[in-house]
Structure 1
Amino acid sequence: MSQSKPEERLALELSCAICLQLFRDPVALPCGHNYCLGCIQNAASAEDPKSLRRCPECREEYGSPEALPKNFKLSSIVDGFLVFKSIANVQKYHFSNSCQRNVTITYVKSNRSTPVLTTYSYVVVKHINAVYIWQANLCDLEGCLHQLQEAQKCTGEVLSQSSEFLFIQNYLNVEARIRQAANVTIPALPSQESSNAKQLRSILRTDTFRAEMSLLLEYLHGMMNPLDLTFNAATAHPSLLLSSDLKTVKQCAGFKSSAAGDQSERFSTATQVMCTQGFSTGVHMWAVEVGPGCMWSVGLCYKSIPRKGDHSRLGHNTSSWRLQWKSKKLAACYDLANVAVGEGLVMPPKKVEVTLDYEGGTFGFHSSGQGGRRQHLHTFSAVFKDTVYPAFGIHSTSEESWITLLSGA
């Protein structure tokens, strides 16, 4: 069945291949596949205890299920998705004009903090129970009213009988219903809707709320689908060597490109390169892997960034932003203003994830470790005025001085 809605496609991507449900306590296998901890334990217990444990999908070997690392990143994304679904259900079911019965509200405690959820999920989780009880009592009251109206109608029909025989016969037929209606308990109902409920209704009806929820969905989808970027060879400094698939860049001592033709886009002072792809709207995420001996810069720039001179370096102008690892220090820089970041970071990040929210004006960096454990490094705030391009620099010439763009597949 085709998944036509973005929510359905995202739910499918966040589902375990064994139980086909959203991940619960996901763990990562060495091959890169993820499963619910309970599902992979059950799958392992069903196999021959003497045989090697293998991934249910690719059949690559792995150790004990209990030793598999938890995928904290994936768990956080699922939490965020559940919060989104909860808020969407509240908007769809609990604030319609008609009363809805037997609707379950799912409360989610997210272990991930996203700017999108900060305002609205707190208000929903704090006040929705009171609003739901108020509406449930209103439904019960309407039921009691209907029951009493039916009893009144039956009583009137009995009393209208002129025949004593028909009066007694009809009375015996409706006596039980009339007694039941007379003894009904009227539920308590607040005289007016609480101010909290009114506040929540007001928030959920705003265009801002709908825009925020759309942004959250786009953000979650972007996190699960990193962009497939490529380096722009026309911008690469002559000392940088690019792989044939334009996914890896390396600086080699003594290497100098012999490329001919237009050199106007090429960096001639700083050993830098831009990507071919640029962004002028939306939320995007990409990831890079860096060599263990590499000193590097990962950043963003406008196409108008200078190509020669010291002011062409990423972060040395108003046209670019960068995060740099150099001399065993991590620093963020914009317009020559350096800020030390990554306090307590002993080893350089091996994988860096970058998230751009163009309209939101943020450009953030996270390091990604084993099991998807993420550490926030730095976030720039800016008002983007033109198309921006991912950009990178290499400041060392050892064999391990390389940067690879990770595929979104």
Structure 2
Amino acid sequence: MASAGLGEELKCSVCVSLYTDPVTLKCGHNFCRVCIDHILDIQDQESRVYSCPECTTKFQERPALQKNITLFNVVENFLSTHQDEAVIFCTYCVDSPVPAVRSCLMCEASLCDKHLKVHSKGPDHVLTDPSTSLENRKCPIHKEVLKYYCTKDAICICVSCLKDEEHRRHRVETLIKASEKKKKKMGDFLQKLTTKREKTEERVQSLEEHRKKAQENAVGEAKRVTALFTDIRRRVDDLEKRILSEISRQEEKMSLSLSDVIQNLEIKKNELSRKMRDIEELCNMTDPLTVLLDPDTCDLCDPEEEGGDEDTGGHDGGDRGLELISHILSDIFRGLNATFYGQDPADILLDINTAGNNLLISDDLKTATWTEGNQNNRETAKRFQNYHQAMSCRGFSSGRHYWDVEMSRTGVCRVGMCYPSIDRGGDQSVIGDNNKSWGLYGGQGSNNQCSVKHNRKETQLPHQIFSDRFRICLDYEAGRLSFYELCDPIRHLHTFTTTFTEPLHAALWVCGSSIKILGGKEQLWGT
């Protein structure tokens, strides 16, 4: 061990112990002050010739002893760091304590290098590393050295224990063999622990990566929500300015109009007052001829028959302006509702067993493409005889859901939802041409306009459509089926309101075009 090697370097060559008050001679060798003083005193008495006891370098005068402060600090530091380590000294070195290098279990003594050379080499004298607890290595009953291991009782025993009745028929092994077996078991167990620790480290690493990914996703979602609400606040502020401006414009327009009406009514009121005064004067006259011949009273009529409510100018007190504002707010809140309609799109897959023979369904069951050739699909009870139509595998009988589609600019498309009991043949089976389906459709020649249809009743939408992506939102319990244009901002197109009586399936109709059901990362809005 490194500490043991350092301990050897810190020993005085005279007393073979750790330096005590180390000093240095001119030749560079170090000794304990007491040790080197004792040797120099002997040299002074015998020959008055001084020399280093280690390298025999001679000095003309008794050398001055210089304290080695660095070595002193090293020894002190070594002693402080090894104060818990018991230093075992040779049992036979009485005059000066010398560290032991081996211990004899038979003699129960510790030996330095010098005494180890003359120690008995007999087999009974078992040597071990220096130890102060030699009694623990002997049998507590027979006081003999422990040499065997009883596998049944799992204890170490001596030679005499083998003769006892207690261990006579037990399986015993030498300490070395038993130790090797135990080391092998511990090695196998250590290998299992190592494997388990590696798996645990892999699991920790996987969880750390998962946590990091979750944190990154959370940061991304926070940024997305922050941007969304920033945009909403901007739009609300713009809306507030528009509404306040409209209110101010309506108020100014109404005020000017009412000022004209009030002015006309004031003129009329003054005219009526004049007539009233003239009539009162005539009523007070006593000459009947004057009363009858007065030109202003020749044609008397009911004042209410002359003007009535038309003099108010037809104003309704601003209700029309408030109604306009109400419509604007309604559109805005419908758009916000569409934005937060659901966090994830419904997983819509087309049922290939319902697809008409002119529809080619993609392998991922997300795209329906019109083809001129007949697909010659196997006839099933669910298949539409109308060659252009298909519906989804999944139906919804509760909750709120939405799904998005992308329509090709060419051809004609219809998209919507239907009951599973919809007819599979005839014109009445087309989406919107019966009371079991609701649809949005448009295409070439429509001048960028779409229509919605239910039970053959068609409603032309007033908006021009510029996007090729649409959202269909279902609130089953509320009985609402809504269609939105996925533009920026999202725009509400139409909402059907009814009471649903069957599960609703997604449905589409394609002619000379294709429709793709969007999902996941392909979402344009709400992703």
Q: TM-score, normalised by structure 1?
A: 0.47
Larger-Rg structure: 2
Structure with the larger RCO, 1 or 2 (CA within 8 Å, 6+ apart): 1
